[in-house]
Amino acid sequence: MTEPAAGRTMVQVLHDTLRAEMARDPSVVVLGQDVGVKGGVFKVTDGLQAEFGPVRVLDTPISEIAIAGAAIGAAMMGLRPVAEFQFADYMHPAYDQIVNQAATMRWRSVGAWSVPVVFRAPCGGGVRGGVYHSQSIEALYGHIPGLKVVVPATPGDAGGLLRAAIRDDDPVVFLEHKALYRRGREVVTGDTEVIPIGVARVDRAGGDVSVITYGMGVHLAREAAERCAAEGVETEIVDLRTVSPFDREAVARTVARTGKVLLLHEANRTMGPAAEIAAFIAEELFTELDAPVLRIGADDCHLPYNASEEAAILPDVGRVTGAIRRLAAH
């Protein structure tokens, strides 16, 4: 499946990382609907059942609450399960297991028990998936103590962060934007790199305006930054990589550098992750600001199949470019 010289897509890197982690550690198991014979809806687990067997790559019934519950139980018995949900929208029936059981176990047992499980799911819109295949749900889980929430933007980060999530002793919600699965290829040389959860990176350096984002937002910000650079505006893009806990020090560094901040995500604007980060900036970094903090998120609406209506709801490069220009002119 891999073509290292030509670079790999995010799907390929996720597949290769899962395969390598299963080979490295016999306690790593994969379970979910169609992850075995079919290889997963997006082929992330393609061929793994043939290589590792049906016990370590387990096809489950169509029951998300059972997938989550079985993964939690297996984790408490010494395994490191990676539970796949076909779409993030389908995780909602498993919310009780993830929030009330996995997230609370270490606290309830005063540290005696942990739940080292990864809950993986494709998320995001822009692919005409409609209301049940397009949701961005990171804020729902970012609100819950005991859960880490990761949203990679690039193939290399997807591999390094998945490696960290599998080796983490506590539950991690790992959300993969489906429009990034095959968006482009990247030569990923760090096949053993573990990217720490909770550590952001500077995707593009700049001194005029900061865009703090993650996932698909990184790619919108890149295009907008190129447009603005032609006008003499240098944009710094900070890829959080982890929504919860987000990297407060990285946010502070970029705010101190530019004093002008745009927060960008595809999740709905109201009660989205940007609101929490904006509050942090207002409370802790107010004197560093030279302009009001701006936010861009999806309009508070469900995503339709209709392409033009979907496009009108989701953030796009034009809106991001306009916000950067507004901040630069402030």
**Which structure tokens are listed for 230?**
């032609």
* Secondary structure of 168-192 in HEC code, one letter for each residue: CCCCEEEEEEHHHCCCCCECCCCCC
Rounded CA-CA distance 115/118 in Å is 9
Catalytically annotated residue among 15, 92, 133, 265:
133
Annotation says 15 is catalytic: no
Tell me the two tokens of residue 32: 């979910």
What's the sign of the alpha-carbon dihedral 243, 244, 245, 251? positive
CB 304 within 8 A of CB 310: yes
Rounded to whole angstroms, what are the CA distances from 191 to 17, 27, 178, 243, 322?
7, 20, 22, 23, 38
Kindly tell me the number of DSSP H helices and DSSP E strands found in the chain: 12, 12
Return phi, psi of residue 256, to 5°: -65, -30
Q: Quote the CA–CA distance of 258 and 249 in Å, as a whole number.
A: 15
Beta strand ranges found along the chain (DSSP E): 28-32, 57-59, 80-84, 118-123, 148-150, 172-177, 201-204, 209-213, 235-239, 242-244, 261-268, 294-298
Catalytic residues: 133
